[in-house]
Amino acid sequence: MKYTTLPNTDVKVSKICLGTMTFGQQNTEAEGHSQLDFSFEKGINFIDTAEMYSVPARQETYGSTEEIIGTWFKKSGKRDEVVLASKIAGPNPLFTYMRDKNDFSPASIKFALDQSLKRLQTDYIDLYQLHWPERKTNTFGQRGFKIIEEGWEDNIQQVLETLQGFIQEGKIKNIGVSNETPWGMMRFLEESKKHNLPRISTIQNPYSVVNRSFEVGMSEICYRENVGLLAYSPMAFGVLSGKFLTGESHPNARINLFPQFARYNSENTREATRLYNEIAKDFGLTLTELALAFIEKQPFVTSTIIGATNLQQLEQNINTINVSLSEEIMVEVEKVQNAFPNPAP
């Protein structure tokens, strides 16, 4: 395994982070524990979860992933050996079962954090993230920003002050954002500098060979402000494993279970995937190896969040940490990106 540190901290994290959103629906508690055991044995010390998991979010399974991680902590006794990341959900009219208001008010953050700590059976979270912005903006597959009349008022200073209080209490160690835009990132950084408030260490956004939109604006902020990307959906919901190129149906694959993520199944995404697969074969690699090694190569990436539904997939993903892409391969990758730029935003 390779390791780095969370930006602006001395916290050592593995360059591969275990994503857990399948625990509680696609994976049972026993299977989740097996994945955690296997990942830990392979050197992964970084786990990412969220209060709303498992996915797709449902009232019946709300918090199930954190609960499974919590029982693993209790059983294994490895809490202090793990860097744990979780998230508070932002506004969504479908998620009223989580709490009275899905916002980032002091009361909402306190309630969400305390409930996560209880489910996780721990006293602290190493990296606490805002899952998506309170304001309406272009996230989750929307390429461009559209002006929308809304009642949101800029409360970023208050959010940071609230998080500062929980850092002082010891309930959280570091903070991050997720599904953010360049404007949002800079506002958080601006308020931190202006008022000497906690600074975001990471941003968790989608990033893969079929979605490199992060490179437009965001990567420069990461470089100049020392913020690390936690890249999620690196395999584009399994599309970049190449399994859909065979013509088989794979009814239990995420892309079929969750049709709302249609961007990963578009014609351009399929064609780009086919071309990337040809490049991988030409250089003696699997498509999985090319897809994950491409992300690991990027200097603004702190860790790549991988998820799997079985140990075979998990092992294949973890083993890509030892794959390096030559400049020849990168030239070919750029040709596909130029022909099909970011087909799955």
The answer to whether the CB of 157 falls within 8 A of the CB of 191 is yes
Q: Which residues contact 88 (CB under 8 A, 6 or more apart)?
A: 51, 104, 108, 109, 112, 113, 116, 128, 129, 130, 131
∠ CA 49-204-192, nearest 5°, is 110
**What's the CA gap between 223 and 59, in Å, rounded?**
39
Tokens 């279970």, located at residue: 257
Q: Please, what is the Cα angle at 85 between 139 and 96, to 5 degrees?
A: 55
Q: How far apart are CA 233 and CA 304, in angstroms?
A: 9
E strand or H helix at 40: helix 29-41
Nearest to 154 by CA among 123, 124, 122, 186: 186
Which DSSP helix (H) or strand (E) runs through 3?
Answer: strand 3-5
Characterise 101 by phi-psi region: left (phi > 0), alpha (psi -120 to 50), beta (else).
beta
Q: Is 53 a catalytic residue?
A: yes
Residue 295, C-beta contacts closer than 8 angstroms, at least 6 positions apart: 207, 208, 231, 234, 301, 304
Q: Is the dihedral of CA 230, 235, 238, 239 positive or negative?
A: positive
The burial class, CB within 10 Å (0-12 / 13-18 / 19+), for 158 is middle
- Among 3, 53, 223, 276, the active-site one is 53
Contact present, 307 and 314 (Cβ < 8 Å): no
- The residue written with tokens 């970011």 in the block is 342
- Catalytic positions: 53
